[in-house]
Amino acid sequence: MSGPYHEGSLAVQRRLGVRELADHVGRSIGPGIRPVAAAFLELQPLLVLGAADGEGRVWSSLLTGAPGFVRATGPHAVSVAGGVPDGDPLAAALTRPPGAPDTSGSAPIHLIDPVDPGVPVGTIALDPRTRRRMRLNGTARPSARGLTIAAREVFSNCPKYLQQRELLGAASGRGSGAVRHGERLTAAQAAFVRAADTFFIATVAPGHGADASHRGGNPGFVRVTSPTELSWPDYRGNAMFLTLGNLEADGRAGLLFLDWTGGTTLQLTGTARTVFDAGGRTVRFTVEHVLEREDASPLRWSAPAYSPANPEVIKEG
């Protein structure tokens, strides 16, 4: 392993000729939470968390609360009030007793610490108001407050492809809406995906834990090619290729789409692969399970001001 990278990321970096740049950028990844990062976390009303459930499926989940619900409790630990909401696919995996083995029999993620290692998680705190984001990866355990996350990797990303939104307020009745499960997208869900300007992706890698990241673009940048197939272009970023590197090592992935104005969430779990060609890179995702939840988020955001970095979307057909 070279610095923060495992062989999957290194393979993508070599393929694209960015190894030297990736090593330079990778110096921003550290194990500690600096005061400026701790202050940023305490201002956030939402956190996206990625992990594998007890059956080995990878999900990306939304956690929300009043500012301060996420806070650093030291240079290497974060506390999340409330933890994962009831009914979320990751709730069971992140509320079992600390140290209890996962006996699901599915393909495990090989953990770094064999003694009470916790559950590997990736998190991203994204603030649409300021177009800032911070990622923190580590291991999570249940706590009296909700969750405690031991930080292993902490870093920030640039505002590229982040849409700006204002927080209008919070609605009551969180989690009281309809819940729909499926193995494929309905026509309405496919339209929801096509209209998205933002989504989150969770990935994993054996021996290296989990990661949660953001993808953004103008509406239409995510294509629905069938009720079980999505694709999106991998826009130019920071050259670390943490997400694509994880997919190179382990194809499991979880996507989260959010209705910013109404609070509905759409969570997809499945597998993804990257297609490299002369025109760039495209990620193709195969849907295995769908979970739609109305009023999953109480937060209500304004219409977006799109990032000036967003490439033009070529219409399908």
Q: Please, are residues 248 and 218 in contact by the beta-carbon 8 Å criterion?
A: no
Provide the token pair at 53. Answer: 């459930």
Which residue from 238, 188, 247, 196 is spatially nearest to 217, judged by alpha carbons?
196
Tokens for 41, please give them: 């976390």
**HSE-up (13 A, CA, CB side) for residue 203:** 23
What is residue 314's predicted lDDT score, i.e. its pLDDT? 81
Place of tokens 């239409």: 220
Q: Report the distance separating Cα 99 and Cα 293, nearest Å.
A: 31
| Contact assessment for residue 283 and residue 276, using Cβ atoms and an 8 Å cutoff | no
3-state secondary structure of 180: strand
Strand 70-74, strand 77-81: pairing: antiparallel
Quote the pLDDT of residue 172.
73
| pLDDT tens series, the chain, 317 aa | 457 899 999 999 999 999 999 999 998 899 899 999 999 999 999 999 999 999 999 999 999 999 999 999 999 999 999 999 999 999 999 985 544 443 333 333 333 344 457 999 999 999 999 999 999 999 999 999 999 999 999 998 889 999 999 999 998 755 568 999 999 999 999 999 999 999 999 999 988 999 999 999 999 999 999 999 999 999 998 899 999 999 999 999 999 999 999 999 999 999 999 999 987 899 999 999 999 999 999 999 999 999 999 999 987 65
Is domain 7-301 classified as CATH 2.40.30.170?
no
Q: Which amino acid does the sequence have at 303?
A: A
Tokens of residue 85, six digits: 């909401």
Tokens representing residue 40 in the block: 């940023």
Q: Find tokens 């920071």 and name the residue.
A: 238
Side chain identity at 26, as an amino acid letter?
A: G
Distances (CA, A) of 65 to 37, 81, 202, 291: 18, 8, 21, 21
**For position 111, what pLDDT does the model report?**
35
